[in-house]
Homo-oligomer: A and B are copies of this chain.
């Protein structure tokens, strides 16, 4: 079967930058290519957009097929269409970035269609195929820019988390340290956290209280003019 058009058309793909957080470092999910071009090199998960699917659905489908990852925060990043970005011909890719709680998806590899998939610590990454290093750079900049004025950091954390975990996340992503008291004050002042009656245990130190993000509350306050801000 083949498809004929009066004018030439670029191929259209989606690529996903999947960020995870393991409590210490920001991670990126990469897959190892098993065919040319760039065979054997690491690349962002992605693939061709079907004719009858929305772009975002295509991104989710590719993620599930290649890595077994399911629902998560997903947002369109940028469209990369450089004429020489793929040696096989003109390929325009709509890039997305995703945020997931790494602990809920410990083993991304293993899906039916899964190639070799692995988490890499940012920014210690291998050389990437195509222009994927550039895409990744843009995604990281977006994450840094957005995490300070939208409550997307919680997407990377377990449902229940301590203040230390939350602060470590912010400090790593922004490459900047915060005063513990001020950080806590600012976060709590927005009234979007639920103080749980649960505590983190195990460490040789006082148990930290756990919190969860109150998304419903956030949406409500957002309408009344709350400005999330770190």
Q: Mark A81-99, 1 if CB is under 8 A from B, else 0.
A: 1110000001010100000
User: Within the assembled complex, what's the spacing in Å between the Cα atoms of A51 and B52?
Assistant: 23
Q: Which of A5-13, A185-193, A194-202 contacts B (4 or more CB under 8 A)?
A: A5-13
Which listed residue (B5, B52, B53, B54) contacts A9, Cβ 8 A?
A: B5
* Interchain CB contact under 8 A, B52 and A81: no
A130 interface residue per 8 A CB criterion: no
A121 interface residue per 8 A CB criterion: no
A interface residues, tally (CB under 8 Å):
28
A-B CB contact pairs (8 Å), 28 listed: A1-B6, A2-B4, A2-B5, A3-B5, A3-B7, A3-B8, A3-B9, A4-B4, A4-B5, A5-B9, A9-B9, A9-B10, A9-B11, A9-B12, A10-B49, A12-B12, A12-B92, A49-B92, A51-B83, A51-B90, A52-B83, A54-B82, A54-B83, A55-B79, A55-B81, A76-B79, A79-B79, A92-B94
- Name 9 extra pairs, CB < 8 A, besides A12-B12, A52-B83: A3-B5, A3-B8, A4-B4, A4-B5, A8-B51, A9-B10, A10-B12, A55-B81, A79-B79
